[in-house]
Amino acid sequence: VSYSYAKRVQNIKSSAVRDILKVLDRQNMISFAGGLPSDELFPLDAVEAAFEKTFKGGKKSLQYGLTEGFTPLREIIVSLLAARKIETSVERILVTTGSQQAIDLFARTTVDPGDIVLTENPTYLAANQVFSSYEAKIIPVLSDDEGMDPEDLEKKIQEYKPKCIYVVPTFSNPLGRVWSLSRRKSALQIAKKYGVIIFEDDPYGELKFHLDEEYRPIASLDDGKNVLYTSTFSKTVVPALRTGWVTGPSEIIHMMAQFKQAADLHSNSLSQQALYHLLTDFDLNNHIQEIRDEYKKRMLLMDEYLRKANIEGMSYIPPKGGMFLWLKLDPSINTTELLTKAVDQGVAYVPGAPFYVTDPEQNTLRLNFSHSSPEKIKEGIRILSRVFEEALQGAQK
Amino acid sequence: VSYSYAKRVQNIKSSAVRDILKVLDRQNMISFAGGLPSDELFPLDAVEAAFEKTFKGGKKSLQYGLTEGFTPLREIIVSLLAARKIETSVERILVTTGSQQAIDLFARTTVDPGDIVLTENPTYLAANQVFSSYEAKIIPVLSDDEGMDPEDLEKKIQEYKPKCIYVVPTFSNPLGRVWSLSRRKSALQIAKKYGVIIFEDDPYGELKFHLDEEYRPIASLDDGKNVLYTSTFSKTVVPALRTGWVTGPSEIIHMMAQFKQAADLHSNSLSQQALYHLLTDFDLNNHIQEIRDEYKKRMLLMDEYLRKANIEGMSYIPPKGGMFLWLKLDPSINTTELLTKAVDQGVAYVPGAPFYVTDPEQNTLRLNFSHSSPEKIKEGIRILSRVFEEALQGAQK
């Protein structure tokens, strides 16, 4: 039987990297590959207590819920956002199955085949997958360590008339980059000037290592009309609850809710109720501080071991937060080719190339420092350094 | 600011009926409108115990999961399907956020703008919404009390070359209809002949009132190549877990999993683990029998009160299972217009018209009998009968 698919199927491809990384369940593998938070820091007792409390609410708690989400949870999200200086209201909060679904529903609401989406380069792989799956054409905007280049952004808007600009301005995936305030302001100003929506993806913003620094979400600089903002509880509470949210102009949020109704009626409501109880009873800020401290420690360890290894041609900027460290190796090294060798030695990473929209730099890779214990980080970097050294020597022969 | 949406936005409309029914949270409203299972029958203790057991599994249970779903749950689903005489394997099970998401992912994998989807008429409203949202053109196939008419099905396939046939052959929504075995066989045979996929939606199949009767899923008559089959735990366990699944040809399931990765990475994994424990420890078959007994009792009560009311021009076929009774009134009555009056009197239903793809019969309506208590069914039918009588008298003036 030969099946007849939709055209958009051509834009969904299983990556070779994903196939290699499927072996990661193997015992003793040290993985710097995934985007996983640390299991050890999950507030298991608080989650369990929150579910118990939900069940005390009786059988009604097990019934179908609203497409838009559990209202008391949405109220709490409004105050969480107020703390990030984003003004919004319950009606403008849509609860989603992780922030991934927020990106998907936005694309579904906005993107026709052939439409242009502007992004950073490299950028979050699974966002590109979403936009591609709706047959968008993704055009990269030049960026540097401060964020998107305003001149190039304006030029690309004029040239391509994009439907939206997708950005991760705080501890981006994969770069771990933080945009400066002035770049955030410029991007918003230019987007407003041309009436283009900014879709701001902020899963990592809370995971900052320097408490004295403030990273204003672009949405907090907006008047509620030009920015869609998504975030999630996956990195601050636990991923298994699959609960994220999106806020923005009410008209767009309302439209996304209608598509969500078609997509899955509503997200898991038991988890939403439990999250409501957890956020009411539990000191989330204190918990987030623990996560920050631990991730900072792990990042600094990774940084220390990398510096000690002193690999020729290697460079990186120690990230100010988030979960990723972006490594650039000597141009003679192709990290995609090297992956099999590293996995054979017991360490996994993600090569940089798949994150690029165009012009991949083959000598880059992404290291996750949140999921591995300090011991594993030490051992993993030791092994990786040896793999890199051998590759360098091989290249010089 | 004027926002620029995707073309598919035109096909998503908030229905007037939905707006009226939004008031249903009102105290004391008797609602025959929704598709809600009975709260009273939710196995709260078993669900709570299953979550406790999941938490005993430790912090790992709170981590990200596989896109395809929690493997031990998928193994159990394979055996549940074997009991329905559907042969499949773990690799061909994709866990979804309710069966709604299974429909959505299938449409996303299959439907290009302008493609034809064949359906019954009337049929499940939210499936039509999904197919429309991918800009499919929906063409109804003639049906009668036995199911889809094979001649018309073949004619429509020849004429329209559809991408798929969407059917709910067992206790359909809204009709409560059961297809005969011979109609199931004919539909499959014709679909095979022309290489068209059947998408079989079976949320209600377990809720049967006559244990001696067997309703073979069309998928159980297939060789695994021509039918996609979706079902859910929402009606047999609880809706709040939002856990459904889909099985079918491995190539299509694999493709749907790739789109699911883009759509939401994976469904709530805590609920999937809890469902695994629940299905291992709890006598689901016994529980389903309780649901059948209670729903049958409620349906028979509704039937009894409707017969007693003896409304002129009213007709219906008492359903053999499921959650809905489909009522046809005197042709002079427009049930959409009558809804406001009924709601004013404290009873809600869903008018039949929105379920039709074409040629709506304005004198039809859908009554849900699963969610209201026996007392409310009595009171609700008493009020509705009065509303119908008044409408009849009004029409005769």
Please give the pLDDT value at position A329.
98
Mean pLDDT over residues B373-377, rounded? 97
Q: How confident is the model at residue B1 (pLDDT cuts 50, 70, 90)?
A: confident
| pLDDT of A2 | 84
A195, A164 contact by CB (below 8 A): no
Q: What span, in angstroms and rounded, lies between the C-alpha atoms of A365 and A168?
A: 18
In degrees, rounded to 5, the angle at the alpha carbon of residue A167 between the alpha carbons of residues B262 and A248 is 85
Spatial distance between the Cα atoms of A131 and A236, rounded to a whole number of angstroms: 26
User: Is B397 a residue whose pLDDT tops 90?
Assistant: no
Nearest to B9 among A5, A109, A263 (CB): A109
Report the pLDDT value the prediction gives residue B301, as an integer from 0 to 100.
98
β-strands B364-368, B350-351 pairing: antiparallel
Residues from chain B contacting residue A100 (CB–CB below 8 Å): 262-265
- Give contacts of A14 with chain B, Cβ < 8 Å: 258
Q: Is B240's CB within 8 Å of A96's CB?
A: no
Q: What are phi and psi of B148, to 5 degrees?
A: -65, 140
Long-range contacts: A43-46, Cβ < 8 Å, 24+?
A43/A237, A43/A238, A43/A278, A43/A282, A43/A287, A44/B55, A44/B58, A44/B59, A44/B62, A46/A278, A46/A281, A46/A282, A46/A287
Q: Which ipTM score applies to this complex? A: 0.96
In chain B, which residues have their Cβ closer than 8 Å to the Cβ of A262? Answer: 12, 100, 104, 126, 129-130, 133
With CA atoms as reference, report the closest residue to B127 among B160, B102, B144: B102
Q: What angle do CA A341, A342, A344 make, to 5 degrees?
A: 65
Residues of B in contact with A60 (CB under 8 A): 39
Residue B368: what pLDDT? 96
Predicted pLDDT of residue A395:
76
pTM score:
0.96
CB B81 within 8 A of CB B222: no
Contact B324, B368 (CB under 8 A): yes
Q: Do B112 and A225 touch (CB under 8 A)?
A: no
Length of chain B: 397
Contact state of A268 with B267 under an 8 Å Cβ cutoff? yes
| Tokens at B7, concatenated | 């073309």
What's the average model confidence in pLDDT over A52-67?
A: 96
Give chain B's largest Cα–Cα span: 71
Residue A244 pLDDT > 70:
yes
Instruction: Please write the tens of the pLDDT for every residue from B306-326.
Output: 999 999 999 999 999 999 999
Q: Are B275 and B233 contacting, i.e. CB atoms less than 8 angstroms apart?
A: yes
Cβ distance of A40 and B51 shorter than 8 Å: no
Instruction: Express each pLDDT in A68-103 by its tens digit.
Output: 999 999 999 999 999 999 999 999 999 999 999 999
pLDDT in tens, B245-280: 999 999 999 999 999 999 999 999 999 999 999 999
pLDDT tens readout for residues B58-90: 999 999 999 999 999 999 999 999 999 999 999
B187 to A124, B157, B165: CA distances (angstroms): 45, 11, 9
Residue of A nearest to B99 (CA): A264
Residue B234 tokens, joined? 């929402």
CA B8 to chain centre: 24
Helix axes B71-83, B269-281, angle to 10 degrees: 50
Nearest CA to B39 out of A51, A262, A57, A49 is that of A57
Tokens 């996929």 appear where? B197
Per-residue pLDDT averaged across A377-382, rounded?
A: 97
pLDDT digits (tens, 9 = 90+) for B180-192: 999 999 999 999 9
- In 10 A of CB B397, how many CB atoms? 4
**Residue given tokens 């869609």 in the structure block:** A228
Nearest CA in chain A to B58: A44
Give the pLDDT band (50/70/90) at residue B217.
very high
Q: Can you give the pLDDT at residue B170?
A: 98
B161-189 as b/e, with b when 16 or more CB fall inside 10 Å? ebbbbbbbbbbbbbbbbbbebebbebbbe
Angle, nearest 10°, between helix axes A98-110 and B250-264?
100
Model confidence over A127-138: pLDDT tens digits?
A: 999 999 999 999
Check pLDDT > 80 for residue A16. no
Q: Which residues 6+ apart lie within 8 Å of B8 measured at CB? A: A108, A112, B113, B133, B134, B135
B83 to chain A, closest Cα gap in Å: 26
Question: How many beta-carbon pairs under 8 angstroms link A with B?
Answer: 220
Asked if A314 contacts A363 with a C-beta cutoff of 8 angstroms, the reply is no
Contact yes or no for B178/B216 (Cβ under 8 A): no
Confidence of residue B20 (pLDDT cuts 50, 70, 90): low
